[in-house]
């Protein structure tokens, strides 16, 4: 890695959680019966589907298997102050990564080979840290049904459609907001906003041949332009229509959020305070307060 990152000892999820994540999680919990449905119905079903599907079809990363990826995982976990999950690499043509946490089993992160192929090591670490953000913030309770919806719609269309009609809108709204929080986790782990925004740029328009040619400054300018357009009434309507059925916010919007948060006093204070904790220089009178 290009520089030594500050370990954020004692980092709590609420110290970096995006406000939209807090609001949407509160709204989701108010849906009658959703917690019961997730824990007693979707949970056991998801355990069987995801565990068998991923463990049987992926390669487990370790000190002896893809050790460079293993080092990226351990460093990100150290910075974010979280126990390392298992990390798997799966052959797949669609660039993607996802997280799954099951009752009584170790959580795991999966990276698709096509995503690894377009990213630098630092960018891969940003993706890993994004997924760690889901674990750090305990998103797994609602992340399970979202992932199950995706699989169910493909494997059992009738079941997928039924589930989608019942909870899709609320779950997708929550997930889009949760993604903003996990992008912040990626920034905290890499401590370089350009790395995180570069990942988003490559997700928007990268390939093994195009990725090295992309211009990050131009993409950041594009993200800022999108932000300005979205402030108009028509722009807001188009944005809402465009994102309503998506599981993730559009990449330019995510890049703009990271661009903004990286420049905020909130982010700087978070790094500085935990940096002082790490060096033992925090005053007993003015320690960090989680909010």
Q: Which residues carry out catalysis?
A: 131
Tokens 């049904």 belong to: 145
Please name the residue that has the structure tokens 């913030």.
137
Q: Which residue has the tokens 């992932």?
A: 147
Q: Six-digit token pair at 79?
A: 């910075």
DSSP string for residues in the chain: --SPPPP-TT--GGGT--HHHHHHHHHHHTSTTHHHHIIIIIHHHHHHHHHHHHHHHSEE--SSSSHHHHHHHHHHHHHHT----EEEEE--SS--EEEE--TTS--EEEEEHHHHTT--HHHHHHHHHHHHHHHHTTTHHHHHHHHHHHHHHHH-HHHHHHHHHHHHHHHHHHHHHHHHHHHHHHHHHH--HHHHHHHHHHHHH--TTTGGG--HHHHHHHHHHHHHHTTSHHHHHHHHHHHTT-SS--HHHHHHHHHHHHTSHHHHHHHHHHHHHHHT---SSS-----
**CA gap 54, 119 in Å, rounded:** 22
Tokens of 121: 């090591």
């Amino acid at each position: 890695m290009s520089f030594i990152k500050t370990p954020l000892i004692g980092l709590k999820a609420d110290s970096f959680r995006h406000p939209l994540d807090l609001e949407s999680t509160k709204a989701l919990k108010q849906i009658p019966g959703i917690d019961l449905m997730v824990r007693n119905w979707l949970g056991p079903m998801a355990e069987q589907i995801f565990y068998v599907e991923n463990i049987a079809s992926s390669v487990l990363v370790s000190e002896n298997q893809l050790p460079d990826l293993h080092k990226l995982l351990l460093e990100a976990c150290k910075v974010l102050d979280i126990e390392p999950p298992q990390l798997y690499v799966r052959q797949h043509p669609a660039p993607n990564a996802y997280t799954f946490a099951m009752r009584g089993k170790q959580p795991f992160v999966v990276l698709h080979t096509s995503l690894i192929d377009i990213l630098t090591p630092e960018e891969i670490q940003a993706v890993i840290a994004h997924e760690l953000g889901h674990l750090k913030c305990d998103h797994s309770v609602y992340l399970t049904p979202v992932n199950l919806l995706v699989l169910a719609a493909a494997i059992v269309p009738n079941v997928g459609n039924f589930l989608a009609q019942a909870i899709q809108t609320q779950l997708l709204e929550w997930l889009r907001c949760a993604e903003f929080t996990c992008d912040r986790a990626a920034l905290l782990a890499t401590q370089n906003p350009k790395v995180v925004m570069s990942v988003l740029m490559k997700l928007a328009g990268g390939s093994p041949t195009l990725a090295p040619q992309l211009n990050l400054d131009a993409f950041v300018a594009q993200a800022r332009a999108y932000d300005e357009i979205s402030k108009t009434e028509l722009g807001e309507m188009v944005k809402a229509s465009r994102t309503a059925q998506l599981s993730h916010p559009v990449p330019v919007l995510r890049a703009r959020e990271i661009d903004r948060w990286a420049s905020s006093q909130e982010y700087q204070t978070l790094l500085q305070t935990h940096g002082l904790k790490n060096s033992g220089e925090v005053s007993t009178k003015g320690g960090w307060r989680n909010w």
